[in-house]
Amino acid sequence: MYDLHHLDRLTTLRPSMAKLPLDDAAPGVPLSGPLYKEVKRRLTESLTRGEWKPGEAIPAERMLSERCGTSIGTIRRAIDELVAENILIRQQGRGTYVASHNRDRMLFYFFHIVDDDGTKRYPDVELLAFARGKADRTAAELLSLAPGDGVYRIRNRLSLAGSPVMIDDITLPAATFPGLTERQFRERTSTIYNLYQQAFGVSVVRASERLRATVADAETAALLSIARNTPLLRIRRIALSYNEAPIELRISLVDTTRNEYFADIGKPA
């Protein structure tokens, strides 16, 4: 029998030592790679199943250590990675909590449009359109769907300091957000990502963005009160949940006449 410190040094775990019951993993399946990576994976699976809700504290490291049958050091290393990925949040003297989406998290992690002087403001969001449809080839590919699968298509206009600056076209997989209604979307009390969490148990943990230059067509120009062919910034964002699951496609068209895109890469949270 190996002691726990020896177990932590193993890069594989034989079936007879598989003592990591974080979920309903099949018994007798050997683990591969560093043990803390397996602990992290199973913690992530517990989060995906909703065992610990957004804003709730996860069990103490000692309890997780007993549950996993491994050392506190291994647990801490797994949690460190989840904290670095903004999936968990440590609160000094209180514990470690599941990240929840609120206005501050939206502003500082997912909204990158600032004034010319760098000032960040909360945008005013106006719902322009909400419809049920079918995924086209591009949306299907980016959201890991089949062409023709059900989707929701949503259009928002965002304003800063009273002036429209951005059009967001959002595509959501209908199967991920069953029963979503226009009223529910329009009357949400917090951010869109908070609605995903609270109403559907879907957490956005990171986003992948691509930027390019474009110009305003007649419709976009009218919505943003600018001239046709005004240069715009086009942002394509894929929002991802646990285990890199894509859950939202968002195309944003931004008037940068008085605003800029700003991302502080690598700045600690």
- CATH architecture entry for 103-261: 3-Layer(aba) Sandwich (3.40)
Neighbours of 140 (CB within 10 A): 19
Q: What is the pTM of this model?
A: 0.74
> What pLDDT does 15 receive?
32
> What pLDDT does 260 receive?
94
> What pLDDT does 106 receive?
55
Cα–Cα distance, 45 to 22 (Å, whole number): 8
> What pLDDT does 162 receive?
92
Give pLDDT tens digits along the chain (269 positions). 334 343 333 333 333 333 445 444 433 444 456 888 888 888 888 887 878 888 889 898 888 988 888 898 999 999 998 888 778 888 888 889 888 776 666 555 788 899 988 888 899 999 999 999 999 999 999 999 999 999 999 999 999 999 999 999 999 999 999 999 999 999 998 889 999 988 998 989 889 999 999 999 999 999 999 999 999 999 999 999 988 899 999 999 999 999 999 987 655 44
Pick the CATH number of 4-98 from 2.40.30.10, 3.20.20.10, 1.10.3720.10, 1.10.10.10: 1.10.10.10
> What pLDDT does 266 receive?
58
Residue in 251, 246, 207 with CA at minimum distance from that of residue 105: 207
Tens-digit pLDDT profile for residues 126-181: 999 999 999 999 999 999 999 999 999 999 999 999 999 999 999 999 999 999 99
- The answer to whether 151 touches 133, Cβ cutoff 8 Å, is yes
**Per-domain residue ranges of the chain:** 4-98, 103-261
Q: Identify the H or E element spanning 155.
A: strand 150-160
> What pLDDT does 105 receive?
62
Report which residue type is found at 263.
A
> What pLDDT does 94 receive?
85
> What pLDDT does 131 receive?
98
- In terms of C-beta distances under 8 Å and separation of at least 24 residues, what long-range contacts does 184-191 make, across chains too? 185/127, 185/130, 185/154, 186/127, 186/130, 190/101, 190/102, 190/103, 191/101, 191/102, 191/103, 191/105, 191/106
